[in-house]
């Protein structure tokens, strides 16, 4: 039910699958109404790695898009329990050193955050730019092809 009859503030409800939390602090404007802290991402833009521990697409974005050569990427967990990143770059030649650097940084991140070592293999496939980069969290997801 959406009401448009409230003066100055209609309440419009819709499902976004955004993941967020209410702020327990009072609003600086003095309002007594609840406010949202921040949106952490989309519910379907995460994948379960350990017991109640999730890897979010935004975490991968921060690491992978820090490299200017990267145009876009796709991420998924394979049936063999591998985190596969298909990275698209405009400079295919010479990207091998970046590939190793990205893999090392991501392995360190996964180890530090999830204490993962050999539970999850990491595979990075580099592709030459051949189609339009999506660069939108609304269009990209971490897919999970593991059974169960």
Q: Per mean pLDDT, which range of 19-23, 30-34, 101-105, 126-130 is the poorest? A: 126-130
Residue 51: per-residue pLDDT: 75
pLDDT, tens only, 48-99: 877 778 888 888 899 989 988 888 888 888 888 888 888 888 776 767 778 8
- Residue scoring higher pLDDT (10 or 35): 35
* Averaged pLDDT for residues 17-22: 79
Q: 105-131: b or e for each residue (b if 16 or more CB lie within 10 Å)?
A: ebbebbeeeeebeeebeeebebbeeee
pLDDT, tens only, 90-145: 776 767 778 888 888 888 888 888 876 556 677 777 777 664 545 454 467 788 88
CA–CA dist 39, 120 (Å, integer): 27
Q: Give the residue ranges of DSSP H helices in 1-146.
A: 57-64, 96-114
CA–CA dist 90, 133 (Å, integer): 11
CA–CA dist 112, 39 (Å, integer): 24
Residues 6+ apart with CB under 8 A from 80: 121
- Residue scoring higher pLDDT (112 or 34): 112
Residue 129: per-residue pLDDT: 63
């Amino acid at each position: 039910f959406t009401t448009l009859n409230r003066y100055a503030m209609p309440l419009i409800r819709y499902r976004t699958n955004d993941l967020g939390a209410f702020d327990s602090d009072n609003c600086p404007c003095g309002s007594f109404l609840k406010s949202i802290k921040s949106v952490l991402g989309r519910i379907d833009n995460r994948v379960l790695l350990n017991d109640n521990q999730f890897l979010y697409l935004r975490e991968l974005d921060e690491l992978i898009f820090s490299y200017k050569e990267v145009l876009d990427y796709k991420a998924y967990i394979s049936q063999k329990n591998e985190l596969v990143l298909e990275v698209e770059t405009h400079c295919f030649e010479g990207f091998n050193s970046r590939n190793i650097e990205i893999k090392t940084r991501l392995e360190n991140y996964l180890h530090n955050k999830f204490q993962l070592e050999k539970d999850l293999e990491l595979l990075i496939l580099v592709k030459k730019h051949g189609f339009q980069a999506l660069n939108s969290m609304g269009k990209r997801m971490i897919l999970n092809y593991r059974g169960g």
